Structure 1
Amino acid sequence: MDAISDALAVVASCFSCGRRQSLTIDGHTVVVRKRLATGGFSVIDLVEEESTGRLLALKRIACHGSQDEAAALREVDVHKQVRHPNLIELVGHRLLTLRGAQLGPTSELQLLLPYYERGSLAYELERRQQGGNHLSENLLLALFRQVAEALRAMHQAGISHRDVKPHNVLLSDDFSAILMDLGSATTAKVQVCGTNDACRLQDEAAEKSSMPYRAPELFNVDSYCTIDQRTDVWSLGCLMYAMAFYKSPFDVVYERGDSVALAVLSGNIEIPQGSSYSQGLHELMLSMLRVNASERPFIDDILKTVAQLQAAAQNKV
């Protein structure tokens, strides 16, 4: 959710609740300082660790029964399965039972995460757009490579992220890219066997994968097909496009209220005239944005091409 990622990005105004709430999660005692944002299924608070003064982000996911709990805990499982310098770290977690709850949530999953003051890539791109200041090709490739390397670690573990977008990429103090929000992550390779499977996968994508970055095969899932990790490759293509030109090729369609599904399935993507980026970068971008998933490169091939483009860009300096 955009609100959640922005929460890790930009500190919102303080909320007043009298005495500050104190919590202990996996040995980390923290005090809630501010409410950062509220999303559809969770909220984010800015917290301070009492012993160190370190600022952290606390993600609270409301659960309405055991099915919600299992889905929420999947995010914890993914964190345990995949660790990478460019993937957000899980500092700690706990599942809190809300006693006496009848109509509201029955429990709350609390995830303690690093707080990145620089904010999200979406915030950085918005700031640059206002000043007409594009990312240089060197910086674009460096950031993109870090996101792709985090995805490769996930794909090697048999997991797809399924919601790669600028709002889910944070920037560290040294301007490294950190891929976040593993709440949409799922098994990378899925065999669809019948209409029920197709509808279930399509509904899941509609709930968890942002439309302007969602792969074509997730808008209209065939009854008998194989969906693989190249759903993330499509999203990576949209991400690179946004890094170069501030927005996904489908953000404008979404903002107009037109059909994003039709726009995505048409495959009509053009590089803006006057682009200052290399032909090689344009070609890589478009290769990831092929409507037919079988024609898209896998993550290892993408990283090889990025390394070649980085070497070529360095030679021009």
Structure 2
Amino acid sequence: MGASCTREKITIDGRRFYVIKRLGEGGFSYVDQVEESSTGKKFALKRIQCHSIPEEKAAEEEAKFHQLFNSPNLISLEAWCKQTASGEDSEVLLILPYLKRGTLQDELDKLSARSEHLSEERLWKLIRGICEGVHALHHTDPPVAHRDLKPGNVMLADDDNPIIMDFGSMSQGPEEIKGRSQAVALQDVAAEKCSMLFRAPELFHVDSHCTIDEKVDIWSLGCVFYNMAFLQSPFEPVYQRGDSLHLAVLGRNYKFPENSRYSAGLKELVDSMLTVEALERPNIDWVMDKLSTIDRDLQNQV
């Protein structure tokens, strides 16, 4: 007798999906490729494993964040549900678009392997698209901070449009920190969910009385733009040496390669965004205005 293999079936909002293969996994979730039975269309299924009530609540909030935005540069949500797993465990399932090209980090890794770089034109096109997504986040009422912007959390559509994904670290509205216990709690969450090489200084050591707002994303964006141009985070050399990343961030211990292939506007933009004091750091509107100025300068050079 021949062996048969039955594909896993998932039903959400009356729509039936069959699991095709595993695409990847992280510390808190798995991502599978699925196919909708009625249309044959492929999607990505994000499975968030929840082992406690707080984890379940956080996963549900991630799903609900998707419903706040309508931007081509923020990943959309087709459907979602919560289902009981085993014992007290549960699973939150998110049906997301399937983008076969993968992430911006995948693209940068390929370029690095070939000793190539993004062209100037493509660099600025991708930067503007990413900023459009962040602009949509920060202009929600109240504003939303992503808190884990990095090349690995930016997908590339078939038309090269950058799409920000992974809303699991998001926070809505400025967070008022009142006391050491609250500060330590946020610091622990940041250490767990916000990638170290792109993390804003105010999340490395959270003050006992402060306000953490969406400007954490501006710092991360500065790191992302540097990474896109030079294929590593500005603080990666420090990390690779085993030195203190926190001290390097506070001291702005990074430098641009000599004889950069890109226009001076990139250095000016990144330097402005990597401002340690959040109150002095620009907002996304300033960044967008700066991009328009850079674009005009580049057009005049043609």
- TM-score of the two chains, using structure 1 as the length reference: 0.90
| Residues 155, 188 of structure 1: 8 Å contact kept | no
Name the counterpart of 1:303: 288
**Partner of 1:5 in structure 2?**
none
* Corresponding residue number in structure 2 for 1:89: 76
Aligned equivalents of 2:101, 2:43: Cα separation in 1: 13
1:159-198 alignment runs, 5 A limit: 159-198=144-183
Q: Using CA pairs below 8 Å that are at least 6 residues apart, which structure has the higher relative contact order?
A: 1
The AA in structure 2 aligned to 1:112 is: I
C-alpha distance in structure 2 between counterparts of 1:52 and 1:273, whole Å: 52
Q: CA shift at 1:314, angstroms?
A: 2.5
**Aligned residue number for residue 107 of structure 2:** 124
Q: Deviations over 1:102-127 (max 9, x none)?
A: 3xx62100000011111100011111
Deviation for aligned residue 1:187: 2.3
Give the root-mean-square deviation of aligned CA atoms. 1.6
| Contact in 1 for aligned 2:235/2:253 (Cα 8 Å) | no
| 1:173-252 matches, cutoff 5 A | 173-252=158-237
**Identity across matched positions, percent:** 48
Paired residue total:
298
1 CA distance for matches of 2:31 and 2:92? 12
- Asked whether 1:139 is paired with 2:139, we answer no
For residue 168 of structure 2, give the secondary structure of its aligned residue in structure 1: helix
CA distance in 2, matches of 1:258, 1:91: 43
Task: Give yes or no for the alignment of 1:31 onto 2:18.
Answer: yes
Q: State the 1:132 CA deviation.
A: 2.2
**Deviations 1:76-112 (Å, cap 9, x if unpaired)?**
12111122111000111010112xx23xx62100000
Q: What is residue 67 of structure 1 aligned with on the other side?
A: 54
Give the C-alpha shift of residue 294 in structure 1. Answer: 1.7
Q: Distance in 2 between matches of 1:149 and 1:126?
A: 24
Alignment TM-score, normalising by the size of structure 2:
0.94
Q: Contact (CA 8 Å) 1:172, 1:178: kept in 2 or not?
A: yes
SS in 2 for 1:192: strand
Supply the AA of the counterpart residue of 1:250.
Answer: F
Distance across 1 between alignment mates of 2:257 and 2:193: 29
Q: Give the Å deviation of 1:293.
A: 1.4
Cα distance, 1:256 vs structure 2: 4.0
Secondary structure of residue in 2 paired with 1:285: helix
For 2:67 and 2:253, how far apart are their aligned partners in 1? 39
Partner of 2:41 in structure 1? 54
Q: What is the CA-CA distance between 1:57 and the residue it aligns to?
A: 0.5
